[in-house]
Amino acid sequence: MSIFCFCVFSGSFVSLFEVGHLITSGNFSKVYEGTHAFSDKVKVALKCIPKRRVDRYLDISGHSKPVLAEVALMMRVGEAPSCPNILELHQWLEDESSFTLILEYPEPCRTLEDYILFSGPISEAQARLFMLQVLQAVKHCHERGVYHGDIRSRNVLVTLHSLELKLFDFRCARLISSKGFESSQYHGSEAYTPPEVLGQSTFHAAAADVWALAVLLFEIIHRYLPFESFDAIQHGYVRMDPTLSTACHDLIFHCLSRNPAHRLTLQQLEEHRWMKA
């Protein structure tokens, strides 16, 4: 395997891993394939995050100084007993200019977004299998007091041979507050934005996640997103495939209520007859 781009990693890091091809690149990080040099060539994902002045940090026990929020919250959700539907953080390193996260890398895998685009039509039964797994990941985050903040198909991995799903990318994650969050603090995908973020001063983690899960289910089944603009999110009509079961229609309809108080709760979503079918 070729080794390159050492400039983004510290010297101690290079001695542990062979850095392979670029998996994905975003505005705030780059993710490379990595191979552990001393552990039977175990594959990992290496996420390199340049330090920025706007980075958020959290105090966590066992550390003498605050830790990058993304790292701290991944450590929080990763404490035993962990959730198999959340990508595991193996280790993290910090130098003067960046953080490097050493992450679980299931192979072969692709994002759920790519799976939806290239796999062909997805049945309700398979969609249910996917939704049950993402829901477990979201519930686990909430049990640990963590709001992921950016649930979407691009942030879910599908392990192709087992169809096991794993939620990842905690860049937007925050500690859950009973008071909710200011709408200006929402940094998730525009297509998944709940209407209260657009029309109210505050929003709450649970209601926002139920909205995002319904958008995700719609996308899985229809292979496109239900809303194309902020105006559609606030005022548009959701057109669902008429061949879907009545239970599926009912679940999506009640999770996409524009009034967050009228949406299903996470518990009600899990207990809905479509999820139990």
Instruction: From first to last of the 277 residues of the chain, give the pLDDT tens digit.
Output: 333 333 345 445 556 778 888 888 777 889 998 887 766 678 899 999 999 999 999 998 888 899 999 999 999 999 999 999 999 999 999 999 999 999 999 989 999 999 999 998 999 999 999 999 999 999 999 999 999 999 999 999 999 999 999 999 999 999 999 999 999 999 999 999 999 999 999 999 999 999 999 999 999 999 999 999 999 999 999 999 999 999 999 999 999 999 999 999 999 999 999 999 8
Q: Are residues 151 and 234 in the same domain?
A: yes
Which residues form the domain of 199? 109-276
Give me the catalytic one of 40, 95, 114, 150.
Answer: 150
Residue 174 and residue 73 in one domain: no
Same domain, 99 and 116: no
Q: Show which of 104, 119, 150 is a domain's final residue.
A: 104
Structural domain ending residue among the three candidates 104, 131, 156: 104
Tell me how far apart the alpha carbons of residues 141 and 79 are, in angstroms, rounded to a whole number.
11
Say how far apart CA 229 and CA 255 lie, in whole Å.
19
Query: By C-alpha distance, which of 206, 102, 204, 216 is closest to 158?
Result: 216
In this structure, are 66 and 195 located in the same domain? Answer: no
Q: Whole-model pTM?
A: 0.92
Q: What is the pLDDT of residue 67?
A: 95
Counting the structural domains of the chain, the total is 2
Same domain, 87 and 140: no
Active site residue 150: yes
Q: In this structure, is residue 13 part of a structural domain? A: yes
Any domain includes 259: yes
Q: Are residues 43 and 85 in the same domain?
A: yes
Output the pLDDT for position 21: 86
Q: Is residue 1 part of a domain?
A: no
